[in-house]
Every structure is written in C-alpha cells, then in structure tokens.
Amino acid sequence: MRRLRRAPLARSLLERLCQYNLKTTLETIIYAGTDVSTQQAEPRREGVRHVEVNEDAAGQRLDNFLMRLLKSVPKSRVYRLVRKGEVRVNGRRASPEQRLSLNDRIRVPPVHVDAPSAMPRMPAPLLERVRDSILMEDERLIVINKPAGIAVHGGSGVSFGIIEALRALRPGEPLELAHRLDRDTSGCLLIARRPAVLRVLHALLREGQVDKAYLALLKGQWNLGKKRIEVPLRTDLREHGERTVRAHASGKEAVSEFRPVQFFRNRATLVEVALLTGRTHQIRVHAAYAGHPVAGDTKYGDEAFNEAMQKLGLTRMFLHAHSVGFQWPTGGEFSVNAPLPPELAAVIDRMS
C-alpha cells in the first residue's frame, strides 16, 4: 500500500498534540485558522451567569430586566428562555411579568450575544436640536420639548431618535423613555434618569395618575362642549404595511376628554384634549370619529381641510403635548408646560 506523505503543517500539529493537552491544541488550531478581526465581529456565547437584583432593578419586571441585560438578544428569544424555564429566580421558574425584589438571584442561561456593530455617526444637527429642546431637568427627570418630525427612538427606517441623541449627549447615564409621542407630534416628553424613577412613572401611568394634556386644531366648529369620548380602539391593524388604528368594539379601552378653547367661525376649533388612556394615535382617531379630524393629519384627516390649512402656513400636524403633571408617591408635585411651537402659533395668529 502506498504510504501517504504528510504535509509539513500536519506534522507540526502532531508534534504539538504530543506537547499539549487536546483541549488546548484544538483551541489553538481553531484560532490559528481564523482572522482576528473576523473573530471579534462574530457572535459570542455567554456562559451561565447569576445576577443579583440591586436597588435600581428592584420592582422591575423580569422581562424588562432581561432585555436590559441582554440588549443584543431578540425579544422573542428572551421570552422563549423564560418560558422554557432556563431563566430562574431564586432557583425557581418565573413568568416574564414577575416583579423582582431586592437581592433576588437571577440565573441567566448561556446565550449567543451579537458583537457590537459599527453604528452610523450621530448627525451633529440632531444632537444640537435635541440639546436645545431640553425644557427642564432635575435629579430624576429630563423633559424634552420634542420637535415635530423627530422620532422618540430609532427603528422602522430611522437610525436615531430623541433617546439615542440624549444618550450620546449624556454618555454613561441610564436614560429611558417614560412614554412616547408620535413622530409628528411635538411637546412634553419625559425621560427617566434612573431605572427606579422609570418604574415609578410607569406605575403612575398604569394607574391613571399622570395628567397629560394636548392642544389640537380640529376641522369645523366643535359644538359638543366638553365631551368625553369613550370608544375602544384596535391598534393591531395594518394597511399597505403601515400601522393603522380603528375605532372598534373589540378594541382596547380608550378615553379622551375634549374641551374647546378657541373658535375660528365654522372653519376650525382649537381644543384641549386630556388623555385618560394612552393608546396609539388615540387623539387623532377619536377626533376623526367625532367628525372633527386634526388639521394636517394625513392618515386620519380630511384632505380638503388639510389643503386649506396649508394655505395658512400649516406644514405639519397640529397636535402638541402642552402639559404633564403628577404627584410623586414620596411627596411633591411635578408639573411642566411646553408653549406652542412658533410654526403652530403663527397659524393661530393668521386664523385670528
């Protein structure tokens, strides 16, 4: 039988196998055939971790805690880990919505974590605009007078939003959105500066303890006086690939209170709207349901009315979150107001 001739590389590896244990040699072989820069860009597998809940995380839901811990892991994967019992709280299975307590011990199973990818450079004009939009701040909150046209966070084709810009301006701070505003809506946006503050705000919002008021310009003369609209909304619908909200008996509870502030004959009415629930597009859909759509609303509005408003200089949707207020559970009142942006105030002046 013809003897196969070993290549020099094979002989070298055999010699190394004689000198080192198998595990070390195999790791060396794998590494020797891998480009270093490629290896660093590939996903890595974390080992089992045991994480103790500190004061900032106490009271947080398990799913939210894990998503902050495993930022590059898809949400669906996080929920699957919990459902399969791979995540344990104090040695026991847990549900995603379970609230954590101080000193709870969380077992986090091995997961593939994507290596951080190179992010596009944050546009300097966006950073400057967000910095100039800070309305007030204290040790617990930052309040942004959000400009219209900027998303509150990246996603759906948008690389950066308000929160990404703020994190770039305040590196190292654990900033989180307390609530959201539509991209085309301006006004008061609350940012929590600590996880414990975020949980307090979310609890207040769930319990309806936060007073949020908006100013909106509606089509026609509002003859309903102070009107409470309680119409359920379906927020899970899609049309042409875009999210669409519809008034429907099978939808989620949605309550808005409309109060007229200023009439412009039969043309339009400026109203203040108090949100008692926080559904997607709630004011816009309730206003359209009442027969008085919001000026400049291209999704639920009136095309002829929007064209008439454009002639008066309206270049965006006339919806502005002008005030937020609540009581801190530990005592003290919080209240903030954001004046109408100049582009909306100018439309009111022209109509007056």
Q: Is 302 a catalytic residue?
A: no
**What's residue 236's pLDDT?**
83
CATH number of 48-113, picked from 3.40.50.150, 3.50.30.30, 3.10.290.10, 3.40.640.10: 3.10.290.10
Please, which pLDDT band fits residue 46 given cuts at 50, 70 and 90? low
Provide the β-strand partners of residue 321. 187, 214
pLDDT tens digits, 109-123 = 988 765 555 556 788
Q: Reply yes or no on whether the pLDDT at 8 is more than 90.
A: no
Q: 124-192 is classed in which CATH architecture? A: 2-Layer Sandwich (3.30)
Start-end of CATH 3.10.290.10 domains in the chain: 48-113
Domain 208-351 top-level CATH class: alpha beta
Three-class secondary structure assignment of 5-72 = CCCHHHHHHHHHHHHCCHHHHHHHHHHHCCCHHHHHHCCEECCCEEEECCCCCCCCEHHHHHHHHCCC
Name, in order, each residue with C-beta under 8 angstroms of 290's C-beta and a sequence gap of 6 or more. Answer: 224, 227, 229, 258
Catalytic residue among 63, 132, 138, 182: 182
Lowest model confidence (mean pLDDT) among 28-37, 108-117, 194-203: 28-37
Distance CA 336, CA 143 (A): 8
Tell me 87's DSSP state. S
Mean pLDDT of 149-165: 82
Q: Reply yes or no on whether the pLDDT at 36 is more than 70.
A: no
Please, which pLDDT band fits residue 13 given cuts at 50, 70 and 90? very low
User: How many CA atoms lie less than 13 Å away from 184 in the CB half-sphere?
Assistant: 17
Lowest model confidence (mean pLDDT) among 1-15, 78-92, 111-125, 182-196: 1-15
Structure-token pair, residue 45: 């597998």
With the CA atoms of 61, 65, 71 and 75 taken in that order, what torsion angle do they form, in degrees rounded to the nearest 10?
-30
Start-end of CATH 3.30.2350.10 domains in the chain: 208-351
Distance CA 143, CA 136 (A): 5
Start-end of CATH 3.30.70 domains in the chain: 124-192
pLDDT tens digits, 241-290 = 778 899 999 999 999 999 999 999 999 999 999 999 989 999 999 999 99
Rounded to two decimals, the pTM is: 0.71
